[in-house]
Structure 1
Amino acid sequence: MLQALREKTSGWIAIAIVAVLAVPFAFFGMEQYLFQNNADYAAKVEAPPTWWKSAPDWWLVRKVAWSSTEVSNEEFRQTFDAMREQRRQAEGEDFDARQFETLENKREVLEQLIDRAVLALAAERSNIVVGDAQVQEIIASIPAFQVDGRFDPQRYQITLQSAQPPRTPREFEQNIRQDLQRTLLPQRIAESAFITAGEADRLMRLLGERRDVSFVIVPPPAVEEAPVSEAERQAWYEAHANRYREPEKVALEYLEIDGSTLATTGEVDEAELREHFEQVKSRFTGNERRLVSHILIEVPADADAATQAAAEKKAADIAAQARAADADFAALAQAESDDPGSSGNGGDLGWMEKGMMAGPFEDALFALQPGQTSAPVRTDFGWHVLQLREVDAGESVEFEDVRDTLASEMRDNEGTRLYNDLVGSIVDEINKQPMSLEPAAKLAGRPIQTIAPFARGAGSGIAANNAVLQAAFSEALTQDGTVSDAIEIGPNRTVFIRVTSHTPERALPLDQVADRIDAEVRADRARAQAEAAAEEMVAALREGQTLDALAGSRSLAVERVPGIPRGAPVPDPAAAEAYFRALAPAEGASTPGKVLLADGSAVVFTVDKVTPGDPAEAGEQERAMLRQQLGALLGNEDAEVLQRALRSQMKITVIEARL
């Protein structure tokens, strides 16, 4: 049988069948069998080639001809963490870390990164290039690198080295270049927007428009007393079920430790005080400063051994030249240094203190004597040749000058120590007996306090503290009944809480909210009656009756207000909006309308005349500002349209499981 099978699969028919099957496998799904997918990204953006914009989205074509870029998991996580920290700083104690970790927030951050990736890929496909001069201009304009409003090379170096993670100037400049490439296209599109003088005049006529309005206020009808049937009540309850829910509630007992209430001796030992002064003396003395210049021979991070050796030899030659008796270090720096920030100033880095430049650079600097030049020093930036120009030793201070300050600090430290020791002892006691606060309260000599059941956001006192709320409504406390970890609610103020009762969110039964439903049904009937009465009056106005006649038959007063501008609350902001939504009336006619107000009353009105704004009344400065503002709005809209268009032309793959 095997021989027969071999014979039947060896002919030209079998070869043809295999060839036909190979075509769809080559384009659809074959990569799943041929290649192992080791991709590690949160999102991927792919675009067809510019020379074949209609290229099909087939695997083989996409692999060969399409260009792509990725949003890595690391990039997403760093951006998301930075967003979390911004929200934490902005919201303070109200920040809820658990609520922030939602898929919606993660997708929002990822979508921003995808937009950036789309723009980056579009810039690459359009061959957009950013020159060095533009990069340097942007760097010089960053406030973090400036001193007294001017770019400072020393501040630039220190800021980059102290960043987390530290970055070299080359890396930072590359990031700036990429940002400029990515934003150049939408920025230029936005800046190209403008409005014509005719458009500005039309807008000013609209913004400055005034309307002559007549209106009457129809009071709300009397509250109905008619009974609400069971069917009406049931239908209303089902249609507005979200209104009739009781929120999740917890009741608490807690133990509060306030460091300010702990008694201290208040006495300070003089010998200990003097010993403490010797330990912290540097706080009260001016730190030693050193005025330094340098020459940098830059070494790329990926340089080979030969390149590194050549850079080291060049630095050694320059150091030898700088040590010559007639050497001009500033001139050497201008001619040889690869540091664009300081070479123009003769290598000047300004005054430096310990801790500003860590590692070999600082060690070499503080080993020099004034006027000396160092041997080449290696850092992440390359090889440095340092020259120490001047030393400022700082000023000293006597013990008697700071005695009172140190004594106050020692008393505060004693109170803090007592507070920390007590909190630590309570934590240990709770770890031994996590289901009760009583042993901890006995140890602390503090009473256990209680809080009646409250909903999230409806508590007071410590129950209004966001950290307490997060713990109180956490599953660990609501389900297990254990005592919480220490919760810091202020400086030297800590509480330990335990949930004594927990009521999950639940739907309120119909019979419990029947009175509320009846009141709402009656109020809804009244609103419907008010709207029907107002609509009846508007219909009569459309048929030719006058507002005065309708008002007189209903004992209502007509108010006539000429020249109402946009936004004027006459008699209510909602009414003003309705006036300007109404169509302009024909000559000798009026446009009727109505609007219901929040108190149940209705405003029935007629727009009697429309007077356009006069552009001639605006000064040239006002007109220019209007054109600028409107142009910026239109430009931003154009940039958003461009972003959406670019996204529609690309294939975007999102892996939510990796967020």
Structure 2
Amino acid sequence: MLQKLRDKTSGWIATAILGLLIIPFAFFGMESYLSQRVDTYAARIAQPPSWWASAPEVWPLTYLWNTKEIASSEFRQRFEIARMRAREEQGDKFDAKAFESVENKRKILDDMIDEQVMRMAAERDGIVISDGEVRSQIQQIPDFQVDGKFDADRYQLLLASQSPPQTPREFEQKVRDNLHYGLVPSRLSQSAFATDREVDRILRLLSEQRDVSFVTMPPVPADGAPVSAADIGSWYKAHASTYRRPETVRLEYVEVDGSALPAPVIDEALLRKRYQEQSAKYSTAEQRSVSHILVQVAAGASAADKQAAEARANKLAAEARAPGADFAALAKANSDDAGSRDKGGDLGLMTKGGLPGPFEDAAFAMQAGEVRGPVKSDFGWHIIKVNEIRAGNQQPFEAVRAQLETELQQTERDRAYNELSGKLVDAVYKNPTSLEPAARALGLAVQTTPAFSRAGGPGIASDQKVLRAAFSDSLIQDGTASDPIEQGPNRSVIIRVVDHEPEAPLPLATVSDAVVAAIRADRQRKAADAAASALVKAAKAKGLAAAAADAKLVMAEANGILRRSPTPSPQAVEAFFNAPRPQDNLATVDKVELGGQYIVFAIRAARDGDLTKATAEERKQLRDQLSQVAGGDAQQAYVKSARAKYQIKVAEDRL
């Protein structure tokens, strides 16, 4: 048999078949062997080559495709940035569980996909951003400006203070990248406009007036008819989601309240030591009212200019020291300090440390009314006059003793709170499945809450931070204690879930009364709707006034109602303007339900707004708003159409 097999496989036909089989194994088998990898992308965006739009995405043709990936790590980084921003904006209302929803993750990922699609489209279209465009964009950023102008020093300082620090080259590349993929969408948005006809149409609608007659239907009597068991069962089954017991938890907790700690005893010696350490806090420094005349010397001035400035300063100093000299008049006429010249050289009250060195040394060595100078500084030559000296003041220990004691007590209370909180955390971490041992060791009480739902409960259960922790998966599933939850200054709580009841349907026997009440309320609502519908039908046949009279109801009229009119109510006015305009002199009759009460109305007339009453500024504002809306729509449409040209694969399990 083996000889026959050898004979059959040694001919030229067998050799040809074997050769054909080797080809696919050589390409596809080897490729699969060599290219083994683990995908880590959150999304993959791919596009076939422009010259072969129908190219299949199979190896080896995949090398022809333009493919980009958004790594899971990139997505997590963007997601964490969005989380921090949301937490800062929402504060205590931030819900971590809701933020982790699949819908929110997809929204953030979709934004990243749109950005990547725009990058790929920009590369395909050959868009290039010039250095000048990048420079202009950076110079327009307000944070890099001083007095409305770009400041290079501030630019570099702010970049260096980032976490992590950025170099100008890195930041410029980031700006270039943003301009690169955002150029077409932003220009498309900016190119939108609104025509005069569109503006006129919106103005007519915004200032439209309507004449309306309306009847407020009286409440329908409460339904007291019997409800059968079959009706109860049918209603309960149809509204099963309504009759469910909410998820609840019950907590045990240990609270640390700094205000409840014993008041510390403050030693007299400690008070005096603190007074000495903070003596500057209870004293006012000496102040001097100073005026000056500045003879400015430019930084690059020549020797001759410097000598001339010094000579001029000596001359002015001699004039200022002359008996009866008017220092303020001399300053107004001669000082080069534009900031103080018009005030007679007055610099106001000064304390040590607020003036250039030589200037300050001279000013604080002078007597009141004395004139000195010229004094050299980096700005030039100064002629100085001390107008007034206000001596410093030191409050005695007795005057601030009570304040010192209060501060020390608070410091000691803070220290005691922090020490107790730290010990509690350490003790709880040693046995996180029970709070009793830690509380007993520190002399604290373990308290409990009644069961409460996500809507909250009494005491600590009303705190949003406690609610988020109490219903977190980790505390519910593990039964361990939480981290300390801050509830205010020097006040925190550690909680543990001791009982958890998941959401569950309520048995019919428990909610039968509520079901009966709901059925009767539904009957009452239907009766009210039927009464309103009957009045609408009659009003269409004979007019609302006659129909209301026949039904012995009161009809009211409101003429010239605008869209922003407050009466009879904003909701009713919205319904009046949502109804079609009267046609062929026939009023438009309809009804609207507002909070369980019906209003039947008839639109008797509708008049366009008077365009001549709109000011040029109002027209401009409306045109800008319409252009902005149209630009946003055009931008979204462009991104959507560009996205449709790519094959996008999202790895939901990696989000």
Give the TM-score band, short-chain normalised: 0.7 to 0.9
Q: CA deviation at 1:646?
A: 0.5
Cα distance 1:87–1:521, how it changes in 2: closer, same or farther (>3 A)?
same
What is residue 228 of structure 2 aligned with on the other side? Answer: 229
Contact 1:578–1:593 under 8 Å retained in 2:
no
What is residue 619 of structure 2 aligned with on the other side? Answer: 623
SS in 1 for 2:450: strand
**Amino acid in structure 2 at the alignment position of 1:505:** E
Instruction: State how far apart, in whole Å, the 1-side matches of 2:588 and 2:191 are.
Output: 41
What is residue 47 of structure 1 aligned with on the other side? Answer: 47
What is residue 270 of structure 2 aligned with on the other side? Answer: 269
Q: CA deviation at 1:142?
A: 2.2
Structure 1 segment 133-172 matched on structure 2, within 5 A: 133-172=132-171
Contact 2:213–2:601 under 8 Å retained in 1:
yes
SS in 1 for 2:532: helix
**Amino acid in structure 2 at the alignment position of 1:566:** R
What is residue 582 of structure 1 aligned with on the other side? Answer: 579
Structure 1 segment 454-465 matched on structure 2, within 5 A: 454-465=452-463
Q: CA deviation at 1:431?
A: 4.3
What is residue 184 of structure 1 aligned with on the other side? Answer: 183
**Amino acid in structure 2 at the alignment position of 1:163:** Q
Q: CA deviation at 1:569?
A: 4.4
Q: CA deviation at 1:81?
A: 0.9
What is residue 343 of structure 2 aligned with on the other side? Answer: none
**Amino acid in structure 2 at the alignment position of 1:123:** A
How many corresponding residue pairs? 538
Q: CA deviation at 1:596?
A: 1.9
Instruction: State how far apart, in whole Å, the 1-side matches of 2:30 and 2:507 are.
Output: 58
* Correspondence 1:565 to 2:562: yes
Q: Deviations over 1:399-429 (max 9, x none)?
A: x899989987765443333222222333344
Q: CA deviation at 1:55?
A: 3.2
Structure 1 segment 252-291 matched on structure 2, within 5 A: 252-262=251-261, 263-267=263-267, 269=270
Q: CA deviation at 1:642?
A: 0.4
What is residue 68 of structure 2 aligned with on the other side? Answer: 69
Instruction: State how far apart, in whole Å, the 1-side matches of 2:227 and 2:12 are.
Output: 84
Q: Deviations over 1:121-171 (max 9, x none)?
A: 111111111111221122222233234443332222222223222221111
Instruction: State how far apart, in whole Å, the 1-side matches of 2:534 and 2:60 are.
Output: 67
Contact 1:201–1:615 under 8 Å retained in 2:
yes
What is residue 644 of structure 1 aligned with on the other side? Answer: 640
**Amino acid in structure 1 at the alignment position of 2:642:** L
What is residue 244 of structure 1 aligned with on the other side? Answer: 243
What is residue 107 of structure 1 aligned with on the other side? Answer: 106
What is residue 382 of structure 2 aligned with on the other side? Answer: none
Residue in structure 2 matching 1:471, options 447, 464, 469: 469
What is residue 214 of structure 1 aligned with on the other side? Answer: 213
Instruction: State how far apart, in whole Å, the 1-side matches of 2:478 and 2:17 are.
Output: 72
Cα distance 1:431–1:619, how it changes in 2: closer, same or farther (>3 A)?
closer
Instruction: State how far apart, in whole Å, the 1-side matches of 2:236 and 2:13 are.
Output: 72
Cα distance 1:266–1:260, how it changes in 2: closer, same or farther (>3 A)?
farther
What is residue 536 of structure 2 aligned with on the other side? Answer: 538
Q: Deviations over 1:86-139 (max 9, x none)?
A: 111122233333443333222221111111101111111111111112211222
Cα distance 1:553–1:48, how it changes in 2: closer, same or farther (>3 A)?
same
Instruction: State how far apart, in whole Å, the 2-side matches of 1:30 and 1:203 are.
Output: 67
Instruction: State how far apart, in whole Å, the 2-side matches of 1:531 and 1:493 are.
Output: 55
* Correspondence 1:612 to 2:608: yes
Contact 2:271–2:404 under 8 Å retained in 1:
no
What is residue 195 of structure 2 aligned with on the other side? Answer: 196
Q: Deviations over 1:267-295 (max 9, x none)?
A: 363797599789x9xxx9xxxxxxxxxxx
* Correspondence 1:527 to 2:525: yes
**Amino acid in structure 2 at the alignment position of 1:49:** P
Q: Deviations over 1:522-579 (max 9, x none)?
A: 111122222222223323333x312222111110112122222124344333332332
Identity %: 42
Q: Which moved more, 1:547-556 or 1:574-583?
A: 574-583
Contact 1:277–1:406 under 8 Å retained in 2:
no
* Correspondence 1:128 to 2:121: no
**Amino acid in structure 1 at the alignment position of 2:265:** T
Instruction: State how far apart, in whole Å, the 2-side matches of 1:63 and 1:275 are.
Output: 79
Cα distance 1:89–1:505, how it changes in 2: closer, same or farther (>3 A)?
same
Residue in structure 2 matching 1:453, options 451, 472, 475: 451
**Amino acid in structure 2 at the alignment position of 1:66:** W
Contact 2:49–2:55 under 8 Å retained in 1:
no
Contact 2:535–2:548 under 8 Å retained in 1:
no
Cα distance 1:459–1:248, how it changes in 2: closer, same or farther (>3 A)?
same
Residue in structure 2 matching 1:518, options 499, 516, 522: 516
* Correspondence 1:595 to 2:592: yes
What is residue 322 of structure 1 aligned with on the other side? Answer: none
Cα distance 1:191–1:6, how it changes in 2: closer, same or farther (>3 A)?
farther
Contact 2:266–2:405 under 8 Å retained in 1:
no
Q: CA deviation at 1:60?
A: 4.6
SS in 2 for 1:136: helix
What is residue 425 of structure 2 aligned with on the other side? Answer: 427
Q: CA deviation at 1:11?
A: 4.8
Cα distance 1:469–1:632, how it changes in 2: closer, same or farther (>3 A)?
same
Q: Which moved more, 1:489-498 or 1:520-529?
A: 489-498
* Correspondence 1:656 to 2:652: yes
**Amino acid in structure 1 at the alignment position of 2:652:** E
Cα distance 1:153–1:231, how it changes in 2: closer, same or farther (>3 A)?
same
Contact 2:206–2:563 under 8 Å retained in 1:
yes
Contact 1:574–1:595 under 8 Å retained in 2:
no
**Amino acid in structure 2 at the alignment position of 1:648:** A
Instruction: State how far apart, in whole Å, the 2-side matches of 1:73 and 1:105 are.
Output: 16
Q: Deviations over 1:252-311 (max 9, x none)?
A: 332221223333232363797599789x9xxx9xxxxxxxxxxxxxxxxxxxxxxxxxxx
SS in 2 for 1:242: helix
Instruction: State how far apart, in whole Å, the 2-side matches of 1:531 and 1:93 are.
Output: 43
What is residue 384 of structure 1 aligned with on the other side? Answer: none
Q: CA deviation at 1:459?
A: 1.9
Contact 1:48–1:62 under 8 Å retained in 2:
no
Instruction: State how far apart, in whole Å, the 1-side matches of 2:93 and 2:215 are.
Output: 46
* Correspondence 1:36 to 2:39: no
Instruction: State how far apart, in whole Å, the 1-side matches of 2:584 and 2:545 are.
Output: 20
Instruction: State how far apart, in whole Å, the 1-side matches of 2:590 and 2:614 are.
Output: 32
What is residue 358 of structure 2 aligned with on the other side? Answer: none
What is residue 553 of structure 1 aligned with on the other side? Answer: 550
Instruction: State how far apart, in whole Å, the 1-side matches of 2:86 and 2:577 are.
Output: 39
Cα distance 1:264–1:145, how it changes in 2: closer, same or farther (>3 A)?
farther
What is residue 79 of structure 2 aligned with on the other side? Answer: 80
Contact 1:190–1:636 under 8 Å retained in 2:
yes
**Amino acid in structure 2 at the alignment position of 1:597:** L
Q: CA deviation at 1:638?
A: 0.6
Contact 1:584–1:610 under 8 Å retained in 2:
yes
Q: CA deviation at 1:79?
A: 0.8
Q: CA deviation at 1:172?
A: 0.8
Larger Rg: 2
Q: Which moved more, 1:249-258 or 1:522-531?
A: 249-258
Contact 1:220–1:526 under 8 Å retained in 2:
no
Q: CA deviation at 1:517?
A: 1.1
Q: CA deviation at 1:179?
A: 0.1
Instruction: State how far apart, in whole Å, the 2-side matches of 1:245 and 1:451 are.
Output: 22
SS in 2 for 1:233: helix
SS in 2 for 1:471: helix
Contact 1:255–1:497 under 8 Å retained in 2:
yes
Structure 1 segment 289-308 matched on structure 2, within 5 A: none
What is residue 491 of structure 1 aligned with on the other side? Answer: 489
SS in 2 for 1:607: strand
Q: CA deviation at 1:446?
A: 3.9
Q: CA deviation at 1:190?
A: 0.9
